[in-house]
């Protein structure tokens, strides 16, 4: 019974991603969209929390939102998977349920 967690806020601006990671369970997936994509950039202050989460969860980032904010795919920390909107739909369908951390 896996959950897709959707986060759309920058972890530098809001506590949504931190709160999400504090409640996601082993085997869950976390998708970063909209302003949350800035949390996926390697070398940022927040990336260690994401790397820790990736020990037992999958983390995804929406490529279109990355590109809009000027970030090339090679800036994304290793292990974070880049998806398009079709991939977003697949994640929503393939997990048993979803939760948006607004």
Stretch that binds its own copies, among 6-14, 37-45, 61-69, 76-84 (CB under 8 A): 6-14
Stretch that binds its own copies, among 8-16, 41-49, 63-71, 73-81 (CB under 8 A): 8-16
- Binding partner at 58 among its own copies, other proteins, none, C-beta below 5 to 8 Å by kind: none
One residue of 2, 14, 34, 41 binding its own copies per CB under 8 A: 14
100 near its own copies (CB under 8 A): no
One residue of 54, 81, 82, 88 binding other proteins per CB under 8 A: 88
Give the span between the Cα atoms of 53 and 46, in whole angstroms.
Answer: 11
- Phi, psi angle pair for 98, to nearest 5°: -135, 155
Task: Annotate each residue in 20-49 with x if it binds its own copies (CB under 8 A) or - if it does not, as one string.
Answer: ------------------------------
CA atoms within 13 A on the CB side of 50: 30
Residue 97 Cα distances to 11, 46, 71, 82, 90, angstroms: 23, 26, 30, 20, 12
Give the span between the Cα atoms of 42 and 48, in whole angstroms.
Answer: 9
């Amino acid at each position: 019974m896996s959950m897709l967690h959707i986060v759309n806020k920058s972890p530098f601006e809001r506590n949504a991603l931190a709160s999400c990671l504090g409640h996601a369970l082993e085997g869950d997936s976390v998708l970063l969209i909209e302003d949350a994509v800035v949390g996926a950039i390697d070398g940022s202050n927040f990336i260690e929390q994401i790397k820790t989460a990736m020990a037992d969860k999958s983390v995804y980032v929406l490529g279109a939102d990355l590109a809009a904010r000027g970030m090339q795919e090679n800036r994304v920390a290793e292990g974070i998977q880049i998806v398009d909107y079709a991939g977003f739909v697949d994640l929503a369908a393939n997990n048993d349920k979803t939760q948006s951390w607004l």
